Every structure is written in C-alpha cells, then in structure tokens.
C-alpha cells in the first residue's frame, strides 16, 4: 500500500493536559479516512498537527513519504484544507474569493465556473461573503479548498450547516475526487456521512485512538448474537445467530411465513457509545 500520511506515537499537551496520547494511524493514497470522536477529543488538533499549524511534543509524522519537519512548500501546494478557521474575505464576492485563492495557489481558475455550478452557487457568485448564509459560506470555503485540484484533502465538518440537497452534492463531489485518486481525511459528527463516504474509520476518545477499521467491520465486531424474523402473522421472532438458532430460522423459512430475516447490527454511533461511553 502507498501510505500518504502517517502518525506514530504522537503526543501533544496544552498547559499540562495531554490532548493527544500516543496517536498512531496511517492513510493510504486514494482512501477516504474518517476521523471520528466527540467534541474535544482532539480531531481538529490532529489536523493542525498534520498541516503543521501546531508542533507535536513527541512521536513521528510522515507526509508524502517524508518526515513532516522536512515537508516543502511544494508538498503543501498538494493539500487542500477546510477547517473552522478557513478564511473567506468578507468584502469580496464568492467568485472573487475563489479567483484569489486560485491565484495564490498558482492555477488558472478555469474550473471555477464548474465548481460554482456544482455547489449551487453560480447564481450567487457575485454575492459578497458578508451577505452569505452559513450554508453558502461553507460551500464557498469548500470550493476554495478544491480550486487547485489537491491530492490530499483535510475536511473538518465539511457539510456543517448544509441542507440535505447541498450535503448530497458535496458527497457526490467527494466520491468523484476519490475515484480520480484524491485522498480525503474527514472529520464529521454525522455518522451516516462517515459510513457513506469512508473506506476506513478511526475513533478518537480523550486523545487516544480506540478503533481503526472499515465501517462494516466495526459494526460486525459489535453486532449482537441475534437474528430477528418478521412473520406473515405479524409476529416478531428473535433467536440466536448460531447453530442453536438455526432450526428456528429454517422452520420459519420452510413454512413460507417469514417476510424478513436480519441480524442485529449497531450503527456507528452505537459502536462509539459502547466503546467509549460518551456521546458525540
């Protein structure tokens, strides 16, 4: 596998409080890696470390195959960032902001009309940012992160404040970027979003990584040993998901009375609550 980004035993403290505690994970090229956890778990801090806005106390971080301390300006030109501190200029229009970011990134900006259209901002392109709604600002900030066609995207809550239609469009765009070879590091509180977009998920709790696996694997690992069948009579039958429960399942299927049968799996939020005992 081609590892694009990795941390090994990374620690960071603020004012004597340990914020990240021996954090280790890796992200491969072309992967969408979801970084989940409750508020205050250290997700945004991790992004700031990975983008060299903060410096670690100890451990190792590699970016594009080299220690992050040796990352060059050219390396950072390959990165796009959407975070809670992403800056748009209030007195400039949405389009002028994008053209400004294209200029400082050294690209033509020929893709800006297409990007505006994709995000439903074409008709609002001349609107000053100070007059934009939260959702419009979020979409414009995302486009500013994409305008130079980055290889690696750090997205901190990219669909926060968006309506369902805009959220679906963002998801579609991210899938297309990933299919084209981009790598995405995503933080989100939306568990459905994480399950829909992410190839692999890391769960952070109190600065420690307590899980790292594919969404389905995480759910299966925490699935209950239970099968639920709904019969034509309206009765719901529950049995165990093993040899002991097999005769009851076989009988229901053979009778033709079984309308549905499924195993009981938790969703991602339930997995987190089981592992950490904290809500998002």
Predicted local distance difference test score (pLDDT) of residue 252: 87
> What is the helix (H) or strand (E) element at residue 278, kind and residue range?
none
Predicted local distance difference test score (pLDDT) of residue 192: 85
Predicted local distance difference test score (pLDDT) of residue 87: 82
Break the chain into its structural domains and give their ranges: 3-214, 224-264
Low-confidence ranges of the chain (pLDDT < 70): 1, 85-86, 276-280
| CATH class assigned to 3-214 | alpha beta
Radius of gyration, alpha carbons of the chain: 22
Q: Which residues pair with 42 in a beta bridge?
A: none
Contact of 151 with 78, CB cutoff 8 Å: yes
Contact of 240 with 225, CB cutoff 8 Å: yes
Contact of 180 with 210, CB cutoff 8 Å: no
pTM (2 d.p.): 0.84
Predicted local distance difference test score (pLDDT) of residue 55: 93
Predicted local distance difference test score (pLDDT) of residue 280: 46
Tell me the average pLDDT of the chain: 89
pLDDT (tens digit per residue) in 111-167? 999 999 988 999 999 999 999 998 899 899 999 999 999 999 999 988 888 888 888
Predicted local distance difference test score (pLDDT) of residue 1: 57
The DSSP string of 31-100 is: -EEEEE--TTSSHHHHHHHHTTSS--SEEEEEETTEEGGG--HHHHTTEEEE-TT----TTSBHHHHHHH
Question: What is the rounded (10 degree) CA torsion for 105, 106, 112, 114?
Answer: -100
Q: Cβ–Cβ contacts within 10 Å for residue 130, how many?
A: 11
């Amino acid at each position: 596998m081609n590892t694009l980004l990795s941390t090994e035993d990374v620690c960071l403290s603020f004012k004597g409080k340990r914020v990240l505690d021996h954090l280790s994970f890796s992200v491969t090229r072309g992967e969408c890696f979801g970084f989940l956890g409750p508020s205050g778990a250290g997700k945004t801090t991790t992004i700031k470390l990975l983008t060299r806005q903060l410096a670690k106390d100890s451990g190792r971080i590699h970016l594009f195959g080299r220690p992050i301390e040796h990352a060059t300006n050219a390396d950072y030109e390959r990165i796009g960032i959407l975070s809670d501190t992403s800056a748009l200029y209030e007195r400039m229009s949405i389009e002028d902001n994008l053209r400004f970011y294209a200029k400082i990134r050294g690209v033509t900006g020929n893709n800006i009309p297409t990007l505006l259209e994709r995000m439903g901002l074409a008709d609002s392109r001349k609107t000053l940012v100070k007059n934009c709604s939260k959702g419009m600002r979020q979409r414009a900030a995302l486009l500013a992160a994409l305008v130079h066609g980055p290889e690696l995207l750090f997205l901190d809550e990219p669909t926060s404040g968006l309506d369902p239609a805009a959220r679906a469009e963002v998801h579609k765009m991210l899938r297309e970027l990933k299919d084209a070879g981009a790598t995405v590091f995503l933080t989100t509180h939306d568990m459905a979003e994480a399950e829909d977009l992410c190839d692999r998920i890391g769960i952070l709790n109190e600065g420690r990584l307590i899980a790292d696996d594919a969404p389905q694997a995480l759910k299966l690992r925490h699935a209950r040993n239970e099968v639920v069948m709904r019969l034509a009579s309206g009765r719901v039958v529950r049995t165990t998901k093993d040899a002991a429960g097999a005769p009851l399942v076989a009988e229901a299927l053979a009778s033709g009375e079984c309308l549905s049968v499924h195993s009981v799996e938790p969703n991602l939020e339930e997995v987190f609550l089981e592992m950490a005992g904290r809500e998002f």
